[in-house]
Structure 1
Amino acid sequence: MAIIGADARMHAMVSDPNLPLVRRLEAVGFRAWPASSVVFDGSWQVRLTGGHPGKRLNCVVPLDPSDSRDIALRIEKAGKRFEAHGRPLLVRQTPLSPRPLIDFLASDGWECFEEVVTMTADLGRMTFPDTLDHLPTQDVGRYVDADIAVHGSDPGLKAALAEILGNIKPASGLFVIEDAVKGALAAALCVQDNDLAGIMSLAVRPDHRRQGLGIEILSSALRWARMRGARTAWLQVVADNTEAMTLYTKMGFEEAYRYAYWRKASA
């Protein structure tokens, strides 16, 4: 069994006392960060995006703990689909994943990596710090340039990121903090889906961290969502990103559930 880069308890993470919340957050997450191609194999969602390599956009996501038939055959079928798209096959494990599937992956030479924490916060109880309030920009190109700059992403992904943003159906707020000389310092994407507001992306330029810009832009995004009627905020953060976890906890976020990815281990 290969469980690498994630706590061993992820192997047993196939049930959760609040599965209705997990199902709802998974559903709004799919709408807030849409893949260009989505097909279903039973209750397994197969997500592929040719123009963008993001893991959330290119993975198999099981959505029913009881759907564990023909695992080997379905994994093989998914693998061929991913290969045709030039993508490595990834399986995203959430509390909705069937235990027999996780057992199969662990025994078949797969490895578990990148544990991610999904967090929620009650916007009605949230008190925002006294920081500058920023309004969302309507200029998608400006936001895309800022997002790529602060993340240090490949500029070649600009068109793909713009396409993803254009495919988001719920209301989305694009937030940017800029300096007239230095350019983009921080960027955040908030997607409001009825009473839920998801922070889908938030980053501060490395040389401007620990200066309050993270709280400033997050507060602006959450204020915007609350004014539009959102009551609960949610986000996802890699478990070992202690700086971000500290920021979100300080803002009132609490852990709801965790997920991780599985990939075939290298020979």
Structure 2
Amino acid sequence: MEFTAGGRLEVQITPSDVGKRVSVRRLGDPASGPETFTDTVGVLTSWDDGVLLITRRTGESVRIAESSLVAGKVVPAAPARRRGPAAGFAELARVQARSWPPEEAEPLGEWTLRAARGFTRRANSVLPLGAPGVPLDDALARVVAWYGERGLTPYVQAATGAEGTQETLCAALQERGWRREVTAEVRVAGLAPVADLTADTTRVVLARTPDAAWLRRYQRVGEPGPHVLRVLSGGPSVWFASVAGEEGAPAAIGRCVVDGRWAGFSAVEVDPARRRGGLATAVMAALAARALAQGASAAWLQVEEDNTAARALYDGMGFALHHRYHHFRPDRAGA
């Protein structure tokens, strides 16, 4: 990482660079031994009282004493090259939101408050794609009250790691006592390679609605009510895949929402006794082929950061990380 100008280390950032992506080098604790340096890259989310707060792509916030800085500079907002189809954060966020439509939505400036009786955080959280139109503390008070009126936990969904994401909002939420509860990766890929994956798709059955058997394999909910079916079946063009299994439940299932050039994959689940047999790949390939036939060309999916097996599967399919999103909830009374 190059910090020098004419052979000298320089701190080339100031508090006026808050909101920009920066790279800094700081001196380690002298008491820990020989002189060491630590580099940090992320969005400079605040610089107050001699302390910098930098939010990394992962959503982690790092506090750095100004007195420990030995170098720092503004760096490009995103890597120059990215695997997968070109996509902006706002475009992807809106496509994803349409794939998990809430039962109820209410605007708050450029924020959207969403509720679906608690089924999935994605349909029961605030989507903040801009300013709320009121001071942040007032907006959060409205969020807490709105979800409280519905007997729901207030969540704010915010993203990090790409140009236009919301590192500043993430840091502001944490400063106000909201904690990050869940982090998921948003991954993208070309759709045609997914459809071309080597797999036996002849046993995959596609349908427009989830039947009782499909719902028995779906592990995200117990007895599904009408609101669950409305969320699952919502979206511009939804397809459900299943592979016949035993005892009334499919061996594998999946869901795909086609929205313009995008095909979004979710609910890919396999009977634990049938895993590592290519069924997840077959489901994905069959859904991708149907999405291609409807004119889509790019694929996206969401995978929780701690789901190691799924992340490995999607690595093998060519899905590359685009950004991460996080769900924040109040961590203390009155937050």
Q: TM-score range by the shorter chain?
A: 0.7 to 0.9
Q: Deviations over 1:93-150 (max 9, x none)?
A: 1145655533332122221121100011112344311322324124x251x5423434
What corresponds to 1:252 in structure 2? 318
Q: Within 5 Å, which residues of 2 pair with 1:127-138?
A: 127-133=196-202, 134-138=204-208
TM superposition shift of 1:224 = 1.3
- Whether the 8 Å CA contact 2:199–2:285 is kept in 1: the answer is no
- For the pair 1:34 / 2:95, whether they are aligned, the reply is no
TM superposition shift of 1:58 = 0.7
**Consecutive aligned runs of 4 or more in structure 1 exceeding 4 Å deviation:** 66-69, 96-100
**CA 1:132–1:206 in 2, change beyond 3 Å: closer, same or farther?**
same
Relative contact order: is structure 1 or structure 2 higher (C-alpha 8 Å, sep ≥ 6)? 1
User: 1:197 corresponds to which letter in structure 2?
Assistant: A
TM superposition shift of 1:162 = 1.5
TM superposition shift of 1:42 = 1.1
Q: Within 5 Å, which residues of 2 pair with 1:48-59?
A: 48-50=115-117, 52-59=118-125
Query: TM-score under structure 2 normalisation?
Result: 0.68
What corresponds to 1:242 in structure 2? 308
Q: Within 5 Å, which residues of 2 pair with 1:221-240?
A: 221-240=287-306
Give the whole-Å Cα distance in 1 for the aligned partners of 2:133 and 2:272: 43
Of Structure 1 and Structure 2, the greater helix share is in 1
TM superposition shift of 1:92 = 0.8
- Whether the 8 Å CA contact 2:179–2:328 is kept in 1: the answer is yes
Give the whole-Å Cα distance in 2 for the aligned partners of 1:92 and 1:44: 10
User: 1:36 corresponds to which letter in structure 2?
Assistant: E
What corresponds to 2:59 in structure 1? 10
Query: TM-score under structure 1 normalisation?
Result: 0.84
Q: Over aligned residues, Cα RMSD in angstroms? A: 2.7
TM superposition shift of 1:236 = 0.4
Give the whole-Å Cα distance in 2 for the aligned partners of 1:106 and 1:80: 19
**CA 1:125–1:218 in 2, change beyond 3 Å: closer, same or farther?**
closer
Q: How many percent identity over aligned positions?
A: 22
- Whether the 8 Å CA contact 1:150–1:186 is kept in 2: the answer is no
**CA 1:200–1:8 in 2, change beyond 3 Å: closer, same or farther?**
closer
Q: Within 5 Å, which residues of 2 pair with 1:107-186?
A: 107-126=175-194, 127-133=196-202, 134-138=204-208, 140-142=209-211, 145-151=213-219, 153-155=221-223, 157-168=224-235, 170-181=236-247, 183-186=249-252
What corresponds to 1:104 in structure 2? 172
Q: Which has the larger radius of gyration?
A: 2
Q: Within 5 Å, which residues of 2 pair with 1:41-120?
A: 41-50=108-117, 52-64=118-130, 69-95=134-160, 98-120=166-188
- Whether the 8 Å CA contact 1:186–1:202 is kept in 2: the answer is yes
Give the whole-Å Cα distance in 2 for the aligned partners of 1:71 and 1:222: 41
Consecutive unaligned residues in structure 2, runs of 5 or more: 1-55, 63-75, 80-85
SS of aligned partner of 1:184: coil
What corresponds to 2:270 in structure 1? 204
Give the whole-Å Cα distance in 2 for the aligned partners of 1:113 and 1:135: 36
Give the whole-Å Cα distance in 2 for the aligned partners of 1:175 and 1:236: 18
- Whether the 8 Å CA contact 1:11–1:102 is kept in 2: the answer is no
User: 2:282 corresponds to which letter in structure 1?
Assistant: E
- Whether the 8 Å CA contact 2:182–2:327 is kept in 1: the answer is yes
User: 2:314 corresponds to which letter in structure 1?
Assistant: Y
SS of aligned partner of 1:136: strand
User: 2:155 corresponds to which letter in structure 1?
Assistant: L
User: 1:124 corresponds to which letter in structure 2?
Assistant: A
Of Structure 1 and Structure 2, the greater strand share is in 2
User: 2:135 corresponds to which letter in structure 1?
Assistant: D
Give the whole-Å Cα distance in 1 for the aligned partners of 2:323 and 2:259: 19
What corresponds to 1:3 in structure 2? none
User: 1:136 corresponds to which letter in structure 2?
Assistant: L
TM superposition shift of 1:180 = 4.7
**CA 1:152–1:54 in 2, change beyond 3 Å: closer, same or farther?**
closer
SS of aligned partner of 1:154: coil
Give the whole-Å Cα distance in 1 for the aligned partners of 2:153 and 2:210: 29
SS of aligned partner of 1:176: strand
TM superposition shift of 1:218 = 1.1
**CA 1:141–1:131 in 2, change beyond 3 Å: closer, same or farther?**
closer
* Aligned counterpart for 1:23 among listed residues 90, 95, 107: 90
Count how many residue pairs are aligned between Structure 1 and Structure 2: 254
SS of aligned partner of 2:206: coil
